Structure 1
Amino acid sequence: MMRSQTYRHKNSSLIWYLFLLPTFLGILLFMVYPVFESLRLSLYVSRGAIETWAGIENYKTVLSSNVFWKAVYNTFYMGFFQLLLTIPFGFILASLITELKWGKNLFKILLFIPYITSVVAASMLFLFVLHPEFGLLNYFLSMLGLPTSVWLAEPSSARWGAILLGSWHWLGFVVIIFLANLQAISEEIYEAGAIDGATGIQKWLYITIPNMYGTFSFLIVIGWISGLQRFTDVYLLGGLQGSPARSLHTIVGFIYERGFGGSEYGIASAAAYVLFAIILFFTVLNLKLTKMKI
C-alpha cells in the first residue's frame, strides 16, 4: 500500500515537471542558445552561410569604429539627460500626489497611460508633436514667445526630441515606483517630526528624501540599463542610420545596422557583447556609488 502511494506521488510530481517542460525548453531555445550562439558568432566573420574564423578581430573592428563611438556618445547623452529630467521631476510629482485629498487615482492613471502605450504609437505621436510646421511643441513655444526649432532636422535638437519622448514615456513608471515607496514610510516618523516643530518642507527634505535613497538607486540602475538598450523609438524617429548625421544612432542601432542592415553578423555579435560589458560595468558602478545591495 505504501509503495503504491509513493509511486502515485512520484507520478504526480512528474506530471508537474511535464507542465514546466515547454517553458524550460523555450528558455533554452530563445534565451540560453542565442547567448552562446552570439558569443560564437562574435569570433567569426559571418554573413550567414559563410563563416571564417576571426578571433578577436571583430572586437577590434567595433572598438576602432568611429560610428560605434558616435553611437556610444548618443546613447549616454540621451540616457543621462533622460534620467536627469525624469527622476527628480517624477519624485516631485509623486510627492505632490501623496498630498492630494482627492483625485490621486486619476492622476496615477493619467501619468501611467504613456508608459503602457506602445513605443511605436508613442513615437509616431511624437513625430506629429515635433513637426516643424504643424507640431504642438512649436505651437506652444510660439504662443509663449519662445524660439521654435526644426526638431528632427538638426543633431542637437533631434537628441533633445528623443530625450523628451523617452522622459514622457518613462515618467509614469517612475511616479508609480515613487508613490509605492512613499506610502511605505511610516506616519509615526512624520508625527515625530511635527512634534519637534518640523515644517512640511523640512519633513520632505529630512524625512522623505533620506527614506527614498533605495528607490533612487533602483531607478538609476534600471534607467541606465534601459537607456543603454534604447532602440525602437529612436529608430522610428531617425531611421536605420539615426538621422540627422547619426545623432539618433544608438549602440543597439549600430548592432541592428551591422547585423540586419549589412549582414555582418560577427561584428554585430561582437558589438552586442561590448554592450553587455558596458551595461555590466555601469550597473556595478551604480550599485557601488549608491551602496545598493544586489
Structure 2
Amino acid sequence: MKKFKYRAENSPQAWLFLMPALIIVGIFNVLPLIKTFIMSFQKGTLNNLSFNGFKNFAIVLKDPKFHTAIGNTALFSFVVVPVALIISMFIAVTIYEKIKYKDVFETIFFIPYLTSIIAVGIVFRFLLNGEYGFVNYILGFLNIGPFNFLDDPNMSMITLMIFGIWSGLAFNIIILLSGLRNVDKSYYKVADMFGASKMEQFFRITLPQMIPIITFLLMVNFINAFKVYAQVYSIFNGKAGIADSATTAVFYVYNKFYVENRYGQGMAAAVILFILILVFTLIQNRILKRISK
C-alpha cells in the first residue's frame, strides 16, 4: 500500500487561507513590478504611452547623474552596512553580558526603529547644523571643526552615512540580541574551565554561532541600503544635498519620474537598480554560504 505524504501546496484549504494574502501581494507587489518593466520600454505621458525599445536604458546608462547616483549608493552601502553591524554587535554584546536591566535598554535602543525617519531627519538637521548644531558644539571642546555637514557638497555623503549608520543600529541590535540568547551557555562554561579569554570566547564561540543571524542582517541591510531614499530626503530637507552631491539611485528614479516627468527613463533606472540588487544579493548569498560552511 502506497503511503500518502501530505503536502500543503496540494491542499485546497491551504490555498483558500492563503488567497487574501496572495491577492494583496499580487496587487501591491507583483503588479507594480510588472508595470515597471513594461513602462521601462515606453515613452510619453502616463495617459499616452508608446513603445520606445531599449532607448530609455541607453539614455540612463549614458547619464553622468546616474553614474554618480550608483556610485553614491554603492559607497553608502559598503560603508554603512558593515560599520553599523560592527557597532551593533558591540552594543548588543555589551547589553547582553554587562547590563543588568536588559529589557529597559532594549526598549531604549528599539525606539528609533519605531520613529518616523522624517522626524528623526529633522532632529539630525538641527544637531548637524554648521552654525548652532550640537555636534559642532561638542567638537569645539576638542578643537575640531566646525564642519558644515549640510551645506558643503564634500560633506554630503559623510553626513548621509552618519545618519544611515545611526538609523540602522536599532533593528540590528534587537536581532543580534535575540541571536545571543540562543547561544548555548555550556560552551562558555567549558571555555572558562580551559581559561579562554572573553575575546577568544567571542571569536571562537559567539561569532560562529551568530553567523546565520549576521548573514540575514547583511542581506537585508544591503538591500535596504541600495534602496536608500528616505534618509536623503529627510536629512537634506527634500533635496539630494547641495548640487545633488548626495543623489542616490532611488532619488534619481524619483527625480526622473516625478520632477522631470520622464516616466520611461525613471522606470528604466528602476529596472537597472533592481537587476543590480538581485545580482549583488545572489553573489553575497553564495559567498556567505561558503563562509558559513
Q: Same fold (TM over 0.5)?
A: yes
2:39 aligned partner: 41
- Equivalent position to 2:228, from 222, 227, 230: 230
In the TM superposition, residue 201 of structure 1 has moved relative to its aligned partner by 2.1
2:235 is aligned with 1:248: no
Structure 2 residue aligned with 1:32 = 30
Q: Normalising by structure 1, what TM-score? A: 0.89
Q: Distance in 2 between matches of 1:120 and 1:236?
A: 5
Q: Does the residue aligned with 1:45 lie in a helix, a strand or coil?
A: strand
Quote the offset at 1:91 in angstroms: 0.5
Moved more, 146-155 or 273-282: 146-155
The match for 1:116 is 114
The answer for the alignment partner of 1:97 in structure 2 is: 95
Q: Which amino acid aligns with 1:185?
A: V
- Shift of the alpha carbon at 1:278? 0.7
User: How far did 1:101 drift?
Assistant: 5.1
Q: Which has the larger radius of gyration?
A: 1
Contact residue 119 and residue 232 of structure 1 kept, 8 A: yes
Do 1:78 and 1:159's aligned partners in 2 also have CA atoms closer than 8 Å?
yes
Aligned to 1:281: 279
Number of aligned residue pairs: 281
- Cα contact 2:227–2:249 (8 A) shared by 1: yes
Structure 2 residue 207 is matched with structure 1 residue 209 = yes
Question: In the alignment, which residue of structure 2 is the partner of 1:188?
Answer: 186
CA drift at 1:213: 2.0
1:141 aligned partner, one-letter code = L
Q: CA deviation at 1:156?
A: 3.0
Change (3 A) 1:255 1:142: same
Aligned to 1:291: 289
Gaps of 5+ in 2: 1-10
Residues 232, 239 of structure 2: 8 Å contact kept: no
1:72 aligns with 2:61: no
CA RMSD of aligned residues (A): 2.2
Partners of 1:114 and 1:168 within 8 A in 2: no
Write the distance in 2 (CA, Å) between the matches of 1:215 and 1:18.
33
Residue in 2 aligned with 1:87? 85
With normalisation by structure 2, the TM-score equals 0.89
Distance 1:16 1:177 in 2: 30
* 1:60, distance to aligned residue in structure 2 (A): 0.9
**1:173 corresponding residue in structure 2:** 171
Q: What secondary structure does 2:50 align onto?
A: strand
Instruction: Name which of structure 1's ranges 283-292 and 70-79 shifts more when overlaid on structure 2.
Output: 283-292
Which residue is 2:137 aligned to?
A: 139
CA distance in structure 1 between the partners assigned to 2:215 and 2:115 by the alignment: 25
Deviations 1:81-135, CA, capped at 9 Å, x for gaps:
1113211111111111111251211211111111111111111111111111111
CA distance in 2, matches of 1:57, 1:163: 34
Q: Structure 1 residues 101, 118: closer, same or farther in 2, change over 3 A?
A: closer
Q: Post-superposition shift, 1:22?
A: 5.2
Distance 1:101 1:244, change over 3 A: closer
In 2, distance between residues paired with 1:215 and 1:142? 39
Q: Give, in whole Å, the separation in 1 of the partners of 2:145 and 2:266.
A: 41
Range with greater deviation from structure 2 (244-253 or 14-23):
14-23
Measure how far apart 1:52 and its partner are. Answer: 2.5
Residue matched to 1:9: none
User: 2:46 is paired with a residue of what secondary structure?
Assistant: coil
1:190 CA drift (Å): 0.9
Over 3 Å counting, the alpha-carbon distance change for 1:150 and 1:290 in structure 2 is same
Instruction: Return closer, same or farther for 1:267/1:200 CA change in 2, 3 Å cut-off.
Output: same
Which residue is 2:216 aligned to?
A: 218
Q: Distance in 2 between matches of 1:273 and 1:14?
A: 35
Deviation digits for residues 55-100 of structure 1 (CA, Å, limit 9, x no counterpart): 1111111111110110001111112211132111111111111112
Q: 1:89 and 1:22 mapped to 2: Cα distance?
A: 40
Give the direction of change, closer, same or farther, for the CA distance of 1:239–1:249 in structure 2 (3 Å limit). Answer: farther
Distance 1:103 1:64, change over 3 A: same
Instruction: Find the residue that maps to 1:99 and give its secondary structure.
Output: helix
Are the counterparts in 2 of residues 114 and 170 from structure 1 also a CA contact under 8 Å? no
Q: Distance in 1 between matches of 2:237 and 2:272?
A: 23
Q: Deviations over 1:142-181 (max 9, x none)?
A: 1222122010112232211111111111101111111111
